[in-house]
Structure 1
Amino acid sequence: MEKRLTFNGAVKRDPAIAAWFAERPGTLGSIAHSWFSHIRGCGDDVLELLHDGYPTACVQDLPFAYVGAFTRHVNVGFFMGAFLPDPLRLLEGTGKRMRHVKLRPGAEVDADALVELIHAAYRDVREYVAAVRLETAGR
C-alpha cells in the first residue's frame, strides 16, 4: 500500500480556521466557508488544521480536502483527487495526486457533483485508514 501524506496537529475545530474565515468576509469567503462546512459535515471523525494557509480537513492525520480563497475564485481541493470518480469532469489539475474544483462567483457549478466528490474523498481516506489499521494488526 502506497504511503500517503500526513499532518500533525489536526483537531476537531481549529481556531486558526475560524480566524481564516473571519479575514475573508466577502463573497469568496462565504463560498469557501459554505464548502468547508460540507467537508466538515462528512463525519464525526473529521479533524482540521490550517496547512499552507488553507483550511484542511483530515481523518486522523490524513488530509482529504481543503478550501482556498483567491482573488477571483475559490478552490475546493482534494489530496487524492486524481483517483476520484469525476464523471462531470469538475476536477482540474495535472499533479500526480492533487486536484481541485475552481468556483467563481456567479458561475454555476453542479453542487450535487461537488458534494459527491467531497464524500468520495472522505470515503477514500476512511478506507485507507481502515486498511492501514488491518495491515498494522496483521503484523
Structure 2
Amino acid sequence: MMMTHMLTCILLVLMYRTSNAGFSVTLPGGANSYALNAMIKYNQMLYTDGVYNKDTGIFIVGAGMAGNYLVSVSMMSGTVTGFTTLKKNNIPYVYLYTRPPYEMATQTVYIQLAVGDTIWVEMTITASSLFDVYNTFTAVRIS
C-alpha cells in the first residue's frame, strides 16, 4: 500500500517536466490539528511555480493556466479518524477517509479547470488532525 502512494507521487513529480503549471506541497512534522470545515494550509513547498497560496491553502487558476489537471491528495491522520475533501469551486470533488492507527488514503483525479477556478483540501465530517509529512496536495497541468 505504501509503495503505491510513493509511485503515484514519483509519477506526478516526473510529469512536472512537461507541465507549465503545478505544485506539490505537504505539512510540517508532527500532528497538525484542524477545525471542522477548515481549509488545510499545506505550507511546506516540495515544488511550486508560484500558483499555490500556502497562506490560504487554495490554488486559483490564473490567466494562461486553464486546462486539464491531474490532482492528487494523500492523507494520514495518525491516532484519530480523519475525513478530508478535495473541493473545486466550493463543491466536493472527492473524499478521503482514514482510521487509526496510521492508515493512509490517496485520491488522484483528472479535473478540468478554467481561469478563476479554485481547488483546495478541507477537513470534513468532524474536527481532526493530520499527521506529519505524509499529507500531500499536488496538481499538474497535463494539457
TM-score by length of 1: 0.29
Q: Which structure dedicates a bigger proportion of its chain to helix?
A: 1
| Greater share of residues in strand | 2
Larger Rg: 1
